[in-house]
Amino acid sequence: MKKIVLLLLFAMLLQPCFALGGDSIFEADLTVNGSACHLELGTISIKDGRMDIEIKGVPEESTSLLWASAFISGVAVPADSVAWKNGSCVFSFTCTALPEAMTIYPYNDANHGVYVWKDAYYGPAVLPEEMIGAWRGSVTGHDGPPVELTFQIDADSSAELTFAQDNRTEICTVSLAYEESTFAPAEDSGSVSRFQGTWFMENGQMTIQMNRTLPSGKVYSYTVPCTKPENGERDTLFKNALQDMKEEKYYSAYAAFLASTDPDAARQAEKCVQPWPANGEVWRVIPQGGTVSLMIEAEQAADSAMLIKIKQGQTPVSYVFIGGSGKVSVSLPGGTYTICDGTGKEWFGIREAFGRAGHYETLSFDGAGTQQAELKSGNAYVLSINVSEIDPNASNVGSKDESWEAFAE
């Protein structure tokens, strides 16, 4: 049984702020009009249907040479305007919620932009159905015996290249850039040689043009026409799973892949289990922070994690992730909140948390089972979950079990 308490620490006054949590990118380098600029994300404000995002590090004379796009539900939305304010470049959008990512790029050249902010849970691009699977081909090597190539492409834009020549085999994990049709070694590629190149598809055939760079620095080039063994039409479950992945519903995709009879389904199911984020606030829609400090502390096994959802009514305002034991502080406006938590081991992202194997509950804040907590402006609170040492002045907090469906909606 969980031991949960809520403690009012002391009254305080916090300055309004906007916090972004998780493992997010907040800076990038971009060449503007021949000059290198180090861009940094400043403040973000949302008010009256408008979102303003401040970017630091842009010379005033370069403001008119840049543009920005925000990614909302996976769709790139260009900024409406840009202005120079108080030493920073400010882009304005028609937007009422925090986007998943933002890119800055030279004006009229969106293909050469950089992420100045990318939330930890802005998931990977999901590839078209026809690309997924094992592509195989062979070619006579310029450096000796024939080359046998297998290019296993997965739905999450990851791939594994197997290069076989003269009884020698190398397996290299590569990352795909779908829009540019290029691939390069992943950070931990696992191979001695470096494999990188491009591909193009035509009439059901994938032609791979790649370089193999040996440790000595010598480079060999290959053009390998590849085909994918005909598996027939993908079944409906496999197709549904791909759509779920596009919507970042990774547990639903996982379940559909496991139920599918497609030869690629089991491999794709493994890709649905996501890495844990860093402890912190991983999702937020509060425009200007707030005047309440809430610290959440939890003690749990090192292989267990927790997602805490803070809502006003039925509207989510902040999600907090804690892997193992840890503490996270968030700022909120004063008001009445509902707090839910889910715990588990396998993580399927913020939309579907720990799937059906997780445990979910809504907290209650009095003996009558009231599920709303009033957090008063200017105060600081601590919510302790399974913590061994409890302040005797803390108020006990109860809970009511919830279904995964109710938690994930």
- How does pLDDT run across 269-315, given as a tens digit for each residue? 998 999 998 888 887 765 445 678 888 988 889 999 999 999 888 77
Task: Report CA torsion sign: 126, 131, 135, 138.
Answer: negative
CA 7 to chain CA mean position, Å = 32
> 245, 251 in Cβ contact below 8 A?
no
What pairing do the DSSP bridges indicate for beta strands 315-323 and 280-284? Answer: antiparallel
Residue 266 has pLDDT above 70, yes or no: yes
> 321, 307 in Cβ contact below 8 A?
yes
Report pLDDT for 229: 73
Buried b or exposed e, range 46-79, using 16+ CB within 10 angstroms: beeeebbbbbbbbeeebbebbbbbbbbeeeebeb
Instruction: Measure the CA–CA gap between 91 and 77, rounded to whole angstroms.
Output: 12
Confidence grade of residue 17 (pLDDT, cut at 50, 70, 90) = very low
Instruction: Measure the CA–CA gap between 77 and 122, rounded to whole angstroms.
Output: 15
Residue 208 has pLDDT above 90, yes or no: yes
Tell which wins on pLDDT, 355 or 4. Answer: 355
Q: Give the model confidence (pLDDT) of 55-114 as tens digits.
A: 888 877 777 778 888 877 656 678 888 888 877 888 888 877 677 778 887 776 665 677
Report pLDDT for 347: 95
H helix or E strand, kind and range, residue 243: helix 236-246
Instruction: Measure the CA–CA gap between 122 and 126, rounded to whole angstroms.
Output: 12
Q: Which two tokens stand for residue 17?
A: 């702020």
Q: Which two tokens stand for residue 240?
A: 């549904």
Report pLDDT for 150: 92
Local structure of 230: helix, strand or coil:
coil
Q: Which two tokens stand for residue 232?
A: 């027939």
Amino acid present at 241? A
Confidence grade of residue 19 (pLDDT, cut at 50, 70, 90) = very low
Q: What is the mean pLDDT of residues 205-228?
A: 91
Please report the DSSP string for 69-130 in residue order.
EEEETTEEEE-SEEEEETTEEEEEEE-SS--SEEEEEETT-GGG-EEEEE-TTSPPPPPPGG
Residue 92 neighbours by CB distance under 10 Å: 15
Please report the DSSP string for 265-288 in residue order.
HHHHHHTTSBPPPPSEEEEE--TT
Q: Which two tokens stand for residue 4?
A: 């949960």
Confidence grade of residue 124 (pLDDT, cut at 50, 70, 90) = low
Local structure of 64: helix, strand or coil:
helix
Q: What is the mean pLDDT of residues 150-168?
A: 87
H helix or E strand, kind and range, residue 290: none
Report pLDDT for 21: 38
> 97, 283 in Cβ contact below 8 A?
no
Mean residue pLDDT across the chain: 80
Q: What is the mean pLDDT of residues 244-252?
A: 87
225-234, 318-327, 373-382: the lowest-pLDDT one: 225-234
Instruction: Measure the CA–CA gap between 203 and 201, rounded to whole angstroms.
Output: 7
Residue 138 neighbours by CB distance under 10 Å: 14
Q: Which two tokens stand for residue 20?
A: 């972004």
Burial class of residue 14 in the structure, from the number of CB atoms within 10 Å of its CB (0-12 exposed, 13-18 middle, 19+ buried): middle
**Percentage above 70 pLDDT, the chain:** 82
Report pLDDT for 330: 86
Instruction: Measure the CA–CA gap between 79 and 45, rounded to whole angstroms.
Output: 14
Confidence grade of residue 388 (pLDDT, cut at 50, 70, 90) = low
Instruction: Measure the CA–CA gap between 208 and 196, rounded to whole angstroms.
Output: 10
Buried b or exposed e, range 195-224, using 16+ CB within 10 angstroms: bbbebeeeeeebebebebeeeeeeebebeb
Return the residue matching tokens 């109860």. Answer: 398
Report pLDDT for 269: 93
Angle ∠(157,159,162) on CA atoms, nearest 5: 170
Report pLDDT for 120: 44
Amino acid present at 197? G
| pTM of the entire predicted model | 0.67
Q: What is the mean pLDDT of residues 383-402?
A: 73
Residue 140 has pLDDT above 60, yes or no: yes
Query: Within a 13 Å sphere around the CA of 355, how many CA atoms are in the beta-carbon half?
Result: 17
Report pLDDT for 168: 85
Report pLDDT for 23: 38
Q: Name residues whose C-beta falls within 8 Å of residue 109's C-beta, 6 or more positions apart in sequence.
A: none
Residue 231 has pLDDT above 70, yes or no: no
